[in-house]
Chains A and B, each alone.
Chain A
Amino acid sequence: MAALKQRSSSKIASTIFLVLIGVLIALPLVGAAEFSLREGGRSKHSFHAYIWIFQQEDFLINASTTLEIALVAVVVTFFLMVPTVAWLHIYGKRYLKFVEILTVLPLIFPVVALATGAALALPAWLQSTKYVLSMMYVVLAMPFTFRALDIGMRGVQLEVLVAAGRSLGASWRSIILRIITPVILPSIFAALFLTVALSLGEFTLAQLLHWTTFPTWVAVAAQGNILGATALSVGSLLTAWILLFSFTFFDRKTSRTQEDE
């Protein structure tokens, strides 16, 4: 009993601390949410600010632009990263460390510097399509997508499964369809989800390479309408949370280990 007396008193302290911090962190959020629901002053509240962005002329154009860019980024990530990481695990384990370091590099270098180099050095023909952003986003997402795929494949020991499949006489087509893909599907989803999340919210590269995407357009459109801008911000935050929760819910269904105290 006495051995744990400390625990309960520090538990109270940590609870108070966490609640305090929680309040401080929630304050801007709640304040912004409240502000965004206002209609003409503090007394009236409605959702009219939230509808505002949908009523903007350019909403559809820019939203679809960003979606297209995100889609291309996802497709490129899928066809580039999945086979590569799979090959590394099955045949090229000794090159894993090298590639891991390679994919971490985008994290080390500031995006602004990367944007500068891209804007000034990449040829005009390359920069003339908005999908150049997709390619850059694939690079920006690489540290995370590689990690997601790597951990997933490591967890199931993909190379062992493939070797077992081969020894049982499966063709490569069978192996890819029946063994590799189903088993690492959660990791693939994680990687693609990360890519989408990054693409939808990315501002810096799009701005510096002079492309109008949803985020950059919002920044401009919202300048004149603080209410709408706030609604957008709160809305995007909530959307991100909903997406994240639904993703983790899906993830839980496919993961096996339940670690409880």
Chain B
Amino acid sequence: MTSNTLELRGISRRFGNVRALDNFNLSLGVGELVALLGPSGCGKTTALRIVAGLEREDAGQVLLGNRDITNVPAHQRNMGMVFQAYSLFPNLTVEENVAFGLQMRKVEKHKRVKKAHELLNLVGLDSQSKRFPHQLSGGQQQRVALARALAFEPEVLLLDEPLSALDAQVRSNLREEIRRLQLSLGTTTLFVTHDQEEAMAISDRVGVMSHGKLEQIASPDTLYNKPATPFVAGFVGTMNRISTTLNSGRVNLFGKSIATIAKEDLTGEVIALVRPESVSVKTSTSNPNATVITRSFLGANSQLTCRTNDGFIVQALMGSHESGELHPGSMVTLEITSEEVLVSHV
């Protein structure tokens, strides 16, 4: 079984009065890793479970390749799924867990054991094959779960917040491993998470969801630099929201007139959305327009939270080597370096 395309067409689902998914459309190309990103309750997990067949849709279709699999039961969909935690069968060894999918497909014992070991090797856990799940750490268990999901060469890989229950360090290592595996096997992958850093780091495209709808789906780059809606702008990365006035398509920020991009026709009072890295901080100046409140050392960069003379809170990102002199109370001059800013209504 080689990898295939995946499409959700017009999927809707309600739970009581809540519309979990509202005419949801999504399309994945072969070998693509697409992330569904959003806060709890946005519908991303529901969408994933509908694809897997573990949840039923009220309306719409799921297509695998050209086949309509909407009415195909879960155990016949040939998709591999990794759950958030605790999904390994406790009564089976690691090896038996990984071989399970092959066992269900009636692959003979020595072949499926061989394949299980192949995959355990890929995730670096071959030495643990005879152990039981409760003897492994969280990160190890998830790697076994990954191996198990891929052992029978599914057409699609589904990941339901696989890293959420893990420690920070393990999380970043494992997400790289997931991407690496996915690329080498070329498996079409749908990855659900609420962690935007995770989604942006490894995906080909990211779909930002809110209230059952897709707000924007694009490459991480586009999402970050050209957010289509205020929600996306605020959800992905940090965003400054500065009150200002829009006049003939331009706003005045820190004494500079800047062009704007707006989703709708706006005039008058607006909110300008500016990324911290687009705010430059000058230290030795004659006309400071802000005071530093806190400085957070983030490694290569430092984040400065400042209060402007007008009373707004603005966050700026600058290289740590440049910010060494700054401390709470320092007077600085802020300036917007980008040529256009996104504006939204108040």
Contacts and interface: CB of A to CB of B under 8 A. Distances in A.
B72 interface: yes
Contacts of A4: 56
A5 interface: yes
Interface in B34-60: 53-54, 56
15 contacts: A1-B56, A1-B70, A1-B71, A2-B71, A2-B72, A2-B73, A3-B53, A3-B54, A3-B56, A3-B72, A3-B73, A3-B74, A4-B56, A5-B73, A6-B73
A101 B53 CA distance: 45
Contacts of B53: 3
Contacts of A3: 53-54, 56, 72-74
B55 to A, nearest CB: 8
Interface in A1-46: 1-6
A193 B276 CA distance: 61
Contacts of A5: 73
Contacts of A2: 71-73
Contacts of B74: 3
A216 B10 CA distance: 70
Interface in B8-65: 53-54, 56
Interface in B48-105: 53-54, 56, 70-74
Given A4-B56, A6-B73, 13 more contacts: A1-B56, A1-B70, A1-B71, A2-B71, A2-B72, A2-B73, A3-B53, A3-B54, A3-B56, A3-B72, A3-B73, A3-B74, A5-B73
Nearest to A6: B73
Nearest to B69: A2
Contacts of B54: 3
B293 to A, nearest CB: 29
B14 to A, nearest CB: 15
A2 B62 CA distance: 13
A3 to B, nearest CB: 4
Sort A-B residue pairs by CB-CB distance and give the 8 closest, nearest first: A2-B71, A3-B53, A3-B73, A3-B74, A2-B73, A1-B71, A4-B56, A1-B56
A5 B56 CA distance: 11
A260 to B, nearest CB: 10
Contacts of A1: 56, 70-71
Contacts of B73: 2-3, 5-6
A2 B72 CA distance: 6
Most interface-central of A3, A4, A6 (chain B CB within 10 A): A3
B279 to A, nearest CB: 41
A227 to B, nearest CB: 51
